[in-house]
Structure 1
Amino acid sequence: MRRGNDTCSLPRRRRAGNPMAEYDRLPPDLRRWLNGAALPWSPRSALRAWRDAMRQAEGDAGSAARALSGLEERLLRRDAVKVWGAGRH
Structure 2
Amino acid sequence: MAAVTKPKRAGNLGATQQKLRSRSTDPMLAYDRLPPELRAWMAGAALPWSPKSCLGIWRRALREGASLEQALQRLDRAEQSALRRERPPARVA
Secondary structure, in 3 states, of the residue corresponding to 1:45? helix
- Larger-Rg structure: 2
Q: Which residue is equivalent to 2:48?
A: 40
TM-score, normalised via structure 2 length: 0.69
- Give the aligned CA root-mean-square deviation in angstroms: 2.1
1:33-54 CA deviation, whole Å, 9 max, x = no partner? 1111111011111111111222
CA distance in 2 between counterparts of 1:33 and 1:23 reads: 11
CA distance in 2 between counterparts of 1:48 and 1:39 reads: 16
Q: Which residue is equivalent to 2:29?
A: 21
Question: Within 5 Å, which residues of 2 pair with 1:1-89?
Answer: 8=17, 10-56=18-64, 58-79=65-86, 83-84=87-88
Q: Alpha-carbon deviation of 1:69?
A: 0.2
Q: Alpha-carbon deviation of 1:67?
A: 1.1
Q: Is the contact made by 1:23 and 1:31 (CA closer than 8 Å) also made in structure 2?
A: yes
CA distance in 1 between counterparts of 2:66 and 2:61 reads: 8
Structure 2: unaligned runs, 5 residues or longer: 1-6, 10-15, 89-93
CA distance in 1 between counterparts of 2:8 and 2:28 reads: 26
TM-score, normalised via structure 1 length: 0.72
Q: Alpha-carbon deviation of 1:72?
A: 0.5
CA distance in 1 between counterparts of 2:8 and 2:77 reads: 24
Structure 1: unaligned runs, 5 residues or longer: 85-89
Size of the aligned set, in residue pairs, is 76
Q: Which residue is equivalent to 1:87?
A: none
